[in-house]
Amino acid sequence: MLHENKEQIEYVILVAADVESGGLSSYNADASLDELAELADTAGAVVVGRLVQKLDHFNPATYIGSGKIEELKTMIYALGATGIITDDELSPSQMYNLSQALDIKVMDRTMLILDIFAAHAKSAEGKMQVELAQLEYRLSRLTGKGTSMSRLGGGIGTRGPGEKKLEQDRRVIRKRVSQLKHEIKEMSAHRDIQRAGREKGRIPVFAIVGYTNVGKSTLLNALTGAGILAEDKLFATLDTTTRVYEYNRTTGKQKILLTDTVGFIRKLPHNLIDAFRSTLEEAKYADYIIHVVDASSPNRTEEMKVAYNTLDKLNVTGKKVITIFNKIDKIRDEDMRVGLFDLRAVKYLSISAKHGTGLDELPKVIDSVLREDRHLIEKIFDYNEMSKISEIKLNGEVIEEEYRDDGIYIKAYI
């Protein structure tokens, strides 16, 4: 049998039509391509070149302009590229026209991200979510909208029996899509039940969110020994993990729940947002947000903006945010230490999750945020009300406790 199927390595040129740079936008095409290169690397492709064209708007037919296509052809030949990856999601017709013009494999940012998600998904839910996103992406390219698709249909060049096969694929895909949606919905319903169980315990929940690769999992590991895979690659985490974090205060112990979540990225494909909604929305059910930022990233400001925009898109609003500037050990340029603040956060602090620097500050910060939402009470409890006092100790914070003749004096935040 012929099952020697050696994986072919793609040698790719990264291509960006830069329609955003300049003005007030913090977008930077080079930074975006650096990230695309990281994505390509994570997906196992080798980047052999880059091409950026500054444009007022995307070329609707070919993404970049026709003159640039000639330049790209020369590059492909000279660099021995086997494919190109565009920095934006291509429309079906752009993809078709480009592959016709270049006679080479054309991929876009979305395909790349879907590919990485597919490789990293571990849980049954994660795998189903990725499959759903991939099928919907494919489906939109099979049926498409308006005239562009009829052109693509013809372009595939498989009229007659081929066309039929396409029809059939479409039907099979649709069926699978609705099946997946159903199963994912059931899984998220199950999670709702788990959440409801948590509600009852009334332990405050903090969701750890942020741009991909900033150190969210490393932070959770450092605090709770969760043992989650943390790697220098984009989208290492695709499943949410919740762990209890217990810390000591002078006035006793405090327990909170910390949830690690999927990272965000600029231009996160909408198919993925839809498919991963239930996972991404984990932050919605948290009481507070811990926003982790890679303080050493040259694109820090934009990454923070992307994180907030994504939270807005997911309707995670009105929650108190603690911003953690991570990887301060990696800051070489002293100028980068300036501006480590976040106006959207109620508190912020700088740490190195990897080296444990500054982590002692975190309980104090969490405490002060929790206290803001608690009331101070002073009360004398009867000696037979011990269970009430235990509950206050569990869910609140006892500042003073005194055993008196008339009962137990308690001063506490609840």
Ligand X SMILES: Nc1nc2c(ncn2[C@@H]2O[C@H](COP(=O)(O)OP(=O)(O)OP(=O)(O)O)[C@@H](O)[C@H]2O)c(=O)[nH]1
Residues within the interface to ligand X (CB under 6 A): 212-218, 230-232, 234-237, 263, 326-327, 329-330, 352-354
Give SS3 for 3.
coil
235 binds, among Mg ion, ligand X, none (CB under 5 to 8 A by kind): ligand X
Q: Which residues contact 83 (CB under 8 A, 6 or more apart)?
A: 10, 11, 12, 13, 45, 104, 105, 106, 107
278 sits near Mg ion (criterion: CB under 5 A): no
Q: What is the DSSP letter of 283?
A: G
352 sits near Mg ion (criterion: CB under 5 A): no
Cβ 73 to Mg ion shortest distance, Å: 39
**Complex with Mg ion: residue 107 or 292, whichever CB lies closer:** 292
**Is 341 within 8 Å of 318 (Cβ atoms)?**
no
42 sits near Mg ion (criterion: CB under 5 A): no
Residue 379 β-bridge partners: 410
Site for Mg ion in 12-41 (CB under 5 A): none
**Is 39 within 8 Å of 234 (Cβ atoms)?**
yes
Which amino acid is residue 209, in one-letter code?
V
326 sits near Mg ion (criterion: CB under 5 A): no
Distance between CA atoms of 362 and 351, rounded to whole angstroms?
9
Residue 377 β-bridge partners: 412
Nearest 10 degrees: Cα torsion 158, 164, 167, 172:
-110
**Complex with ligand X: residue 329 or 385, whichever CB lies closer:** 329
Residues near Mg ion (CB under 5 A), total:
4
Q: What is the DSSP letter of 285?
A: G
Distance between CA atoms of 394 and 223, rounded to whole angstroms?
20
Element (H, E) at 221: helix 216-224
> Interface with Mg ion by CB under 5 A: which range of 182-190, 233-241, 270-278, 306-314?
233-241
**Complex with ligand X: residue 353 or 369, whichever CB lies closer:** 353
**Complex with Mg ion: residue 92 or 215, whichever CB lies closer:** 215
Closest residue to ligand X: CB criterion: 263
**Complex with ligand X: residue 251 or 357, whichever CB lies closer:** 357
120 binds, among Mg ion, ligand X, none (CB under 5 to 8 A by kind): none
> Interface with Mg ion by CB under 5 A: which range of 19-27, 54-62, 199-207, 236-244?
236-244
148 binds, among ligand X, Mg ion, none (CB under 5 to 8 A by kind): none
237 sits near Mg ion (criterion: CB under 5 A): yes
Cβ 404 to ligand X shortest distance, Å: 48
221 sits near Mg ion (criterion: CB under 5 A): no
**Is 363 within 8 Å of 337 (Cβ atoms)?**
no
CA pseudo-torsion sign 81, 87, 90, 94: negative
217 sits near Mg ion (criterion: CB under 5 A): yes
Distance between CA atoms of 206 and 320, rounded to whole angstroms?
10
Residues making contact with Mg ion (CB under 5 A): 216-217, 236-237
